């Protein structure tokens, strides 16, 4: 209780300042806008606002096509696909994108550099699509398990659109889809077998597609993973013992899950008041870099435990401000089902910023 009063006292002494405006995430903005978006002009304006592409470029598709793209694809993906394209190519790409997302394809990788210093080439994507037909379907897993076990589904189709690799999922449990759509696992990261010699790049094979919780993927600009009705043709109801064990370990640090079934998940998201972060003195020279990283990418809020490699994300950093060597942080997108637990932790525990170097792997 003393800690709780102490935190509130710090907040009261902090001078009231207008919160810095941060660009809302794609899905959080979409949830507040899509109900009012009904005409072709409004859809085109909305996409143009995010992608910085003239809205006239989006008039080449019917309103229904634009609505599907607005609902299911991150605008960063649209912007990358249409960048420096002629109007004719734009129409072909948008039509291909529409038909693909309607069929349940989701982006899993893209050409370019990534955080593991292992650049992905277009040849890698082509090889993975070709070799999928010659091998068994890659599994859909949580994290990056070395033995690709347990599988929570499989990738039965791959497709290339522009510089992006899209995957189609099958045989995924309904319970895992709930956790994904509730925001605990927002991103995916692939593992591919990359040949040692460049001339053997044609043998590149997709090993698995892994769900990311609190550990961001090496390849960015893929958007959130979300499933909609009809995306997966074959669904499973129920988890086998191995799958229950993996999910149980991921959520074992959250007491709420020991007394509440997963079926009570809700996707109403909240935003907290600013909380003070205790930061190691050695990191103080890097405050400015920290603020820059917050403005460029989403930093997850996790309840860390030593035995869980990739804990689920309980929310994300919305904004940061610094005063007297203390970082005041606002957290956003906290799922409704753990709202009480997260707020209790924020008020009764000291928060600590943990910075670590990720190991360089070929998993991207």
**Residue-wise DSSP of 96-154:** HHHHHHHTTEEEEEESB--TTS--B-HHHHHHHHHHHTTSPPPBEEES--TT--S-S-E
- Residue-wise pLDDT for 258-289, tens only, equals 434 343 444 456 677 787 776 666 666 777 77
Predicted pLDDT of residue 307: 64
Per-residue pLDDT at 158 exceeds 90 = yes
Per-residue pLDDT at 336 exceeds 80 = no
The answer to whether position 124 is within a domain reads no
Predicted pLDDT of residue 306: 61
Q: What is the percent of the chain with per-residue pLDDT over 90, rounded to a whole number?
A: 23
The answer to whether position 7 is within a domain reads yes
Q: What residue numbers bound the domain in which 344 lies?
A: 2-18+267-352
The answer to whether position 300 is within a domain reads yes
Q: What confidence tier does 338 reach under pLDDT thresholds 50, 70, 90?
A: confident
The answer to whether position 343 is within a domain reads yes
Predicted pLDDT of residue 2: 41
**CA–CA distance, 69 with 3 (Å, rounded to integer):** 47
The answer to whether position 82 is within a domain reads yes
What's the mean per-residue pLDDT of the chain? 76
More confident residue, 17 or 197: 197
Check if the beta carbon of residue 236 is closer than 8 Å to that of residue 175. Answer: no
Displacement of CA 140 from its chain's centroid (Å):
15
Check if the beta carbon of residue 315 is closer than 8 Å to that of residue 298. Answer: no
Do residues 312 and 347 share a domain?
yes
- Residue-wise pLDDT for 37-87, tens only, equals 456 778 888 888 888 888 888 888 888 898 889 889 988 899 889 886 777
Phi and psi torsions of 195, nearest 5°: -60, 155
User: Of the candidates 144, 122, 157, which has an alpha carbon nearest to the alpha carbon of residue 364?
Assistant: 144
Check if the beta carbon of residue 328 is closer than 8 Å to that of residue 277. Answer: yes
Predicted pLDDT of residue 202: 85
The answer to whether position 307 is within a domain reads yes
Q: What confidence tier does 245 reach under pLDDT thresholds 50, 70, 90?
A: confident
Do residues 49 and 11 share a domain?
no
**CA–CA distance, 231 with 234 (Å, rounded to integer):** 9
The answer to whether position 31 is within a domain reads no
**CA–CA distance, 113 with 221 (Å, rounded to integer):** 11
| Residue 234 CB contacts under 8 Å (≥ 6 apart), including other chains | 170, 171
Residue with token string 């990056």 = 144
Do residues 344 and 295 share a domain?
yes
- Residue-wise pLDDT for 162-188, tens only, equals 999 999 999 999 989 988 988 888 899
Per-residue pLDDT at 364 exceeds 60 = no
Which of 102, 126, 141 finishes a domain?
A: 102
Count of structural domains, the chain: 2
Q: Say if residue 183 is exposed, middle or buried (CB neighbours under 10 Å; 0-12, 13-18, 19+).
A: buried
Per-residue pLDDT at 130 exceeds 90 = yes
Predicted pLDDT of residue 257: 54
Predicted pLDDT of residue 28: 44
Do residues 84 and 42 share a domain?
yes
More confident residue, 292 or 173: 173
Do residues 277 and 325 share a domain?
yes
Predicted pLDDT of residue 302: 79
Q: Which two tokens stand for residue 217?
A: 């993927």
Q: What confidence tier does 363 reach under pLDDT thresholds 50, 70, 90?
A: very low
- Residue-wise pLDDT for 194-221, tens only, equals 766 656 888 899 999 999 987 778 888 8
Arithmetic mean of pLDDT, 232-261: 74
The answer to whether position 69 is within a domain reads yes
Strand (E) or helix (H) holding 13: helix 2-13
């Amino acid at each position: 209780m003393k800690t709780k009063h102490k935190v509130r006292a710090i907040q009261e002494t902090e001078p009231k300042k207008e919160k810095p405006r941060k660009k809302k995430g794609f899905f959080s903005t979409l949830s507040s806008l899509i109900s009012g978006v009904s005409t072709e002009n409004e859809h085109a304006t909305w996409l143009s606002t995010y992608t910085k592409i003239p809205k006239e470029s989006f008039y080449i598709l019917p309103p229904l096509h634009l609505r599907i793209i607005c609902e299911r694809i991150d605008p960063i993906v649209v912007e990358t696909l249409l960048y420096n394209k002629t109007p004719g190519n734009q129409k072909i790409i948008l039509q291909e994108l529409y038909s693909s997302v309607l069929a349940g394809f989701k982006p899993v990788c893209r050409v370019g550099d990534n955080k593991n210093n292992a650049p992905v080439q277009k040849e890698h994507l082509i090889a993975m699509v070709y070799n999928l037909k010659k091998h068994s379907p890659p599994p859909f897993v949580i994290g990056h398990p070395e033995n690709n076990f347990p599988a929570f589904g499989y990738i039965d189709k791959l497709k290339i659109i522009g510089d992006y690799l899209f995957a189609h999922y099958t045989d995924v449990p309904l319970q895992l889809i709930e956790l994904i759509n509730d925001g605990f696992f927002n991103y995916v990261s692939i593992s591919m077998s990359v040949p040692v010699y460049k001339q053997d790049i044609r043998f590149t094979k997709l090993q698995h597609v892994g769900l990311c919780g609190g550990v961001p993927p090496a390849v960015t600009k893929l958007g959130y993973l979300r499933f909609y009705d009809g995306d997966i043709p074959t669904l499973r109801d129920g988890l086998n013992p191995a799958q229950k064990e993996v999910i149980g370990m991921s959520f074992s640090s959250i007491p709420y899950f020991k007394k509440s079934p997963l079926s009570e998940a809700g996707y109403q998201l909240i935003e907290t008041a600013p909380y003070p972060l205790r930061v190691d003195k050695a990191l103080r020279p890097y405050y400015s870099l920290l603020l820059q990283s917050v403005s460029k990418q989403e930093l997850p809020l996790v309840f860390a435990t030593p035995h869980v490699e990739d804990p689920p994300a309980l929310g994300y950093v919305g904004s940061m401000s610094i005063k007297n060597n203390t970082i005041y942080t606002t957290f956003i997108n906290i799922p409704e089902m753990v709202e009480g637990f997260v707020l209790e932790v924020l008020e009764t525990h000291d928060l600590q910023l943990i910075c670590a170097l990720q190991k360089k792997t070929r998993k991207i």
